[in-house]
């Protein structure tokens, strides 16, 4: 393996040096694990859903139609008359990764089946053909080994993107992520930076069972030195991927299995998203709803009902799970004076709990009602589709919570 990375590093030295890091706030499957590419459903940003109505995809139709809500209040950016190009979310991730690999020869990819198979969800499809096996490295089924190898590669000047076939598998690499990835910059006295991106699919909604339906945001949030972001649209998926690769900090990028087939028109020109900035999805006056990832669409589905009932919710996709964008969140709290947090993470020790504490500490005087938090139940995710759906927050629960807050 050392010879492999020496080869990559040697190739890198023949080209231009890596660009400056992104500055925030200023502007073949393996025999043991295999997943199907989510190809039976396409959810467009205008809310239309296309299904492959064969017998194998009928169950997927039912689940995805319930899980991914219509994107309300979408701008004309999704119109076919506007410039740009339409991409599915997993294609946007691939485009961002490919552009950064073209831009910087130090960027490399490693993980299980990321090479000629193209990744379990095709995020790395065709990259091995274009960049070669040294920069798109298939690894054994050994998360602790290849994650540690990626961290070591980052210490030597490369910019590895490590893919976990499923976020639950990265628990095997928790020691490397916590004791090495997050701390080496500090424990080396600043001699090393760790510009690594760790990414992969997670979340509930594909009947993958308890071990493959993990939401690990709460596991990693307490690690010093780690940044965490969660993508929710093709636009921010590409922008966050590019920004994470350019960052000098280790970044964990959370992707949701049910959002890979979400389609949106994105700009043709190069862009990045701020790693520490939330997104205002819908301005409002009555209540602030903070959410991220898949729950963004459950919230927007609930927002339609709330508007019909006379409520005006403000919806914010926090995107940056660590650190929180307390500037955007605080301004919203000062305006609405009520906060509802909606997450797919577990309730005990989840992102919602940390966000509740941050808001209470900084903006308690502006609150006219206690903060409410809707989270997944603290149970292993059932395999049965109906039971699986019951474990996560549904739009009707969001509507009820807003009505209680605004009484």
Task: Return the active site residues.
Answer: 143, 212
Please, are residues 315 and 287 in contact by the beta-carbon 8 Å criterion? no
Residues 6+ apart with CB under 8 A from 138: 111, 112, 113, 114, 115, 116, 117, 128
Q: Cα–Cα distance between 205 and 201 in angstroms, integer?
A: 12
What is the Cα–Cα distance from 405 to 333, expressed in whole angstroms?
13
**How many beta carbons lie within 10 A of that of residue 389, not counting itself?**
16
Q: Distance between CA 184 and CA 196 in Å, rounded?
A: 12
Nearest to 291 by CA among 248, 350, 378, 242: 350
**Cβ partners under 8 Å of residue 392, min gap 6:** 204, 205, 344, 376, 377
* CA angle (390 as vertex; 172, 309 as ends), nearest 5: 125
Angle, vertex CA 7, rays to CA 3 and CA 13, nearest 5:
140
CB 216 within 8 A of CB 181: no
Q: What is the arrangement of strands in the sheet containing 41-44, beginning at the earlier edge strand?
A: 49-51, 41-44, 262-266, 85-88
Of 120, 170, 166, 168, residue with least CA distance to 150: 170
Q: Is 90 helix (H, G, I), strand (E, B) or coil?
A: helix
**Angle between helices 2-13 and 143-155 in degrees, nearest 10:** 30
Q: Is there a contact between 321 and 351 (Cβ–Cβ < 8 Å)?
A: yes
């Amino acid at each position: 393996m050392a010879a492999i990375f020496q080869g990559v590093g040697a190739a890198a030295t023949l080209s231009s040096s890596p660009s400056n890091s992104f500055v925030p706030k200023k502007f073949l499957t393996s025999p043991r694990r295999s997943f199907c590419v989510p190809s039976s459903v396409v959810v467009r940003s205008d809310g239309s859903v296309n299904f492959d109505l064969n017998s194998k995809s009928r169950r997927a139709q039912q689940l995805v139609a319930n899980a991914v809500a219509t994107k309300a209040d979408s701008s004309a950016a999704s119109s076919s008359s506007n410039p740009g190009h339409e991409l599915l979310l997993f294609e946007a991730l691939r485009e961002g990764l490919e552009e950064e690999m073209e831009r910087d020869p130090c960027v490399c990819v490693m993980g299980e089946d990321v090479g000629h198979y193209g990744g379990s969800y095709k995020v790395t499809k065709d990259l091995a053909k274009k960049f070669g096996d040294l920069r798109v490295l298939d690894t054994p089924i050994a998360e602790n080994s290849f994650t540690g190898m990626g961290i070591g590669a980052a210490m030597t000047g490369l910019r590895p993107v490590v893919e976990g076939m499923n976020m639950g598998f990265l628990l095997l690499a928790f020691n490397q992520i916590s004791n090495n990835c997050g701390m080496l910059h500090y424990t080396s006295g600043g001699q090393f930076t760790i510009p690594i991106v760790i990414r992969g699919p997670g979340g509930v909604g594909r009947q993958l069972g308890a071990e493959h339906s993990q939401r690990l945001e709460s596991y990693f949030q307490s690690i010093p030195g780690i940044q965490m972001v969660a993508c929710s649209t093709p636009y921010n998926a590409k922008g966050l991927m590019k920004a994470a690769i350019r960052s000098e900090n280790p970044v964990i990028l959370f992707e949701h299995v049910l959002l890979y087939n979400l389609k949106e028109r994105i700009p043709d020109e190069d862009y990045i998203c701020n790693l520490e900035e939330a997104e205002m999805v819908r301005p409002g006056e009555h209540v602030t709803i903070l959410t991220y990832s898949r729950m963004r669409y459950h919230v927007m589905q609930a927002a339609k009902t709330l508007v019909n009932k006379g409520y005006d919710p403000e919806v914010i996709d926090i995107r940056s799970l660590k650190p929180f964008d307390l500037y955007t969140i605080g301004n919203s709290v000062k305006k609405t004076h009520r906060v509802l947090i909606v997450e797919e993470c577990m309730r005990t020790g989840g992102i919602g709990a940390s966000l509740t504490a941050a808001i209470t500490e900084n903006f308690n005087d502006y609150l006219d009602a206690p903060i409410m938090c809707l989270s997944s139940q603290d149970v292993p995710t059932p395999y049965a589709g109906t039971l699986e759906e019951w474990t996560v927050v549904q739009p009707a629960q969001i509507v009820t919570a807003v009505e209680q807050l605004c009484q």
